[in-house]
Amino acid sequence: MTLSRGIYLIHNAGVPVAMDLYGGSSADSTKITGWKFSDTTINWNQLWLVEPVNDKADTFTVRSIIAGTYMDLTGSNPENGTPIIGYQKTGNPNQEWVIKHSADNKSYKMKNNATGTFADLYNGDVLGNGAETNLERIYNE
């Protein structure tokens, strides 16, 4: 099953943190961090519009609902620890994410299309590179 366009909460499958646009800022280069999420309260900094990229299988852009900026791997840098940031739309592959089911078929892995590196919790990820991520659909568009 592939993802469809929709609004998602993107959180780590192993620990209770979600991808959070720091402060909900629309400024370019705002860091996307791991931040505790609540099952009962919506945090708008943690909601993302996931949209398929035309003619690229399993490839998506991920846009902040609150700020309108796109999830962007800083400078297309493939090094571990490179920050994922919010940035205005550029159309470059560092703003495209290949999102596929993990082997458990319950969670997903997010791989940057420009570098082939995975989104994970740097220096806090007990599960290893490319930690599984859960995408919970919040709203269908």
Q: pLDDT digit string (tens) for 85-111?
A: 999 999 999 999 999 988 888 888 899
Instruction: Please state the separation of Cα 130 from the chain's center in Å.
Output: 12
CATH number of 6-140: 2.80.10.50
* Cross-strand bridge partners of residue 33: 20
Model pLDDT, residue 60: 98
DSSP conformational letter for 118: B
pTM of the model: 0.87
pLDDT at res. 131: 44
Residue 132 has pLDDT above 50, yes or no: no
Mean pLDDT across the stretch 10-31? 90
- C-alpha distances (whole Å) from 33 to each of 12, 58, 117, 130 are 12, 24, 17, 16
Q: Model confidence over 58-75: pLDDT tens digits?
A: 999 999 999 999 999 999
Tell me how far apart the alpha carbons of residues 84 and 96 are, in angstroms, rounded to a whole number. 12
Q: How far is CA 82 from CA 67, 78, 113, 115, in A?
A: 21, 7, 14, 11
Of all residues in the chain, the percent with pLDDT exceeding 70 is 84
Strand partners, 84: 73
